[in-house]
Amino acid sequence: MIVACPILAALAAGIVSFALPPIYEGDVSLYVRPAQPIQGSDPTVAGLTTDAILGTYANWMTQRPILESVSSQLGLGLRPEDLAKEIKVTPRTNTLLLDVAVQDTNPARARDIANQLVADFIDTVNSEQLPTASAPAIDKLIVTSPAVLPDRPILPNKTLDVAIAFAAGLLVAVGMAFLLDYLDQSIKSDDDLVERLGLIPIGHIAYTPTAKARRSELVALDPHSTSSEAFKALRTGILFSTLDQALKAIVITSAELGEGKSRTAANLAIAMAQAGHRTLLIDADFRRPSQHRMFGKVRNIGLSNLIIQDATEHEAITQVEDVPNLWLLPSGPTPPNPSELLGSARMMELMSKLWQQFSYVIVDTPPVNAVTDASILAAAANATILIVEQGRTTWPALTHAKLQLERVKANVIGVVVNKVRATSGSYYYGYGNYGTPTNGQASTPRPQGRVPAEERPAGV
């Protein structure tokens, strides 16, 4: 905005300046020598001030009779009030000179009007002044500099107009930028999260445009990408933040829609599995399920079937072929009562059973502020992580989400700042392909197929 506004303002001013007709000015300088003495230091001598004399003549020159005479003699066909708009008579400070300026789109007409106006005015003044015994002398009006044909227009001043428009546009843009920044309630820095809400950032994920390729959202599959390193750092942050407690189930949620919670849950599960931990990823977002799509699975059988005991764990839980130690439990068919189903005793029993079969259970839930599903699961889980999108998530939304989780006594271990832009000065990513083989090709692990049955958790 700061760059665009001045440029657009200057461009608009330039277009208008070139579109406007040029204005020329004819100038006449008129000397006034008053017959009566100017006010002096002698109080017994009556006199007039210079300002009074010049002001009187300046006003007299633009009266209707003189303007009608000028318009008639030059054949202008203008009304006196229209002609008066083109004329400006200004007394010159500390002198006895009147500056007469006439502006017109025709340079010859501007010159002729100025000269004719002064000539008619002098004739009018001389005809009105008659010598008397008490005032034998009359005021003399002398043209010191007649109007000549102007060779260049005075308006529009294209360079000045463009410069002024550019400066005005810049001021407006800077003012708007400060105003928008002042009104912006989005989260921008880690310090604000800690100081204002007491939430600890445990991970930062760089903004990565999603490609159209299959599984393009699973950036953790590439071990040499900067995004993969970010999720490894998040994994480390989670493990170190829960050294004193038995961490089993981790609920991933956010304040609002579209902040990247599902993508974060999927890649965190991959990072956990890559570290050798048996990990189960559960899609508990019945309203907008997405894990099956990212992993290329179907969701005709999933969590909802297990809760109502309509399928077995072996049927609902499938292993992710490309990632050893990772299993996926999709959402299954969407039930008519998601919140009641997730808060049921059967769901709690199922979660307890799955915790014993896996080292870590990552649960993808709906946004906290949208429905109560996330709060129900967060109350039963060991840990909850809030996903925050830099520059998008607002303080009111995040504050409300935190209060919702505090009401159910959820263990919020921290937040993950998602979609961090490089322009924000972030330092927690940017190592490029550090560790990439010398041939320049990333060595992505080959799919290793399904884990043998004897190594699979019970019931899977």
Average the pLDDT over 107-126 and give the result. 94
Spatial distance between the Cα atoms of 362 and 268, rounded to a whole number of angstroms:
8
Q: Are 144 and 30 in contact (CB under 8 A)?
A: yes
Average the pLDDT over 184-194 and give the result. 85
pLDDT tens digits along 345-401 = 999 999 989 988 999 999 999 999 999 999 999 999 989 999 999 888 998 999 999
Strand order in the sheet with 201-206: 201-206, 412-420, 383-389, 249-254, 360-364, 279-283, 326-329, 318-319
The per-residue pLDDT for 3 is: 93
pLDDT surpassing 60 at residue 427: no
- Residue 285: which residues within 8 A CB-CB, separation 6 or more? 262, 331, 364, 365, 366, 373
- Please state the pTM of the whole predicted model: 0.61
The per-residue pLDDT for 438 is: 39
CA distances from 391 to 122, 207, 250 (A): 73, 12, 25
Percent of all residues in the chain with a pLDDT value above 70, rounded to a whole number: 85
CA distances from 197 to 24, 260, 393, 395, 414 (A): 66, 21, 13, 9, 11
Sketch out the chain's domains with CATH numbers: 21-145 (3.30.70.1130), 187-455 (3.40.50.300)
pLDDT surpassing 50 at residue 226: yes
pLDDT tens digits along 134-176 = 555 778 999 999 999 999 999 999 999 999 999 999 999 999 9
Radius of gyration of the chain (CA): 42
Q: Are 57 and 32 in contact (CB under 8 A)?
A: yes
The per-residue pLDDT for 267 is: 94
The per-residue pLDDT for 282 is: 96
pLDDT surpassing 80 at residue 458: no
Q: What is the mean pLDDT of the chain?
A: 85
pLDDT tens digits along 228-259 = 899 999 998 888 766 666 678 999 999 999 89
Average the pLDDT over 8-25 and give the result. 94
The per-residue pLDDT for 446 is: 37
The per-residue pLDDT for 372 is: 92
Average the pLDDT over 30-39 and give the result. 78
Confidence class for position 212, pLDDT limits 50, 70, 90: low
pLDDT surpassing 70 at residue 435: no
Phi, psi of 423 (to 5 degrees): -70, -10
- DSSP secondary structure code for residue 193 in this structure: I
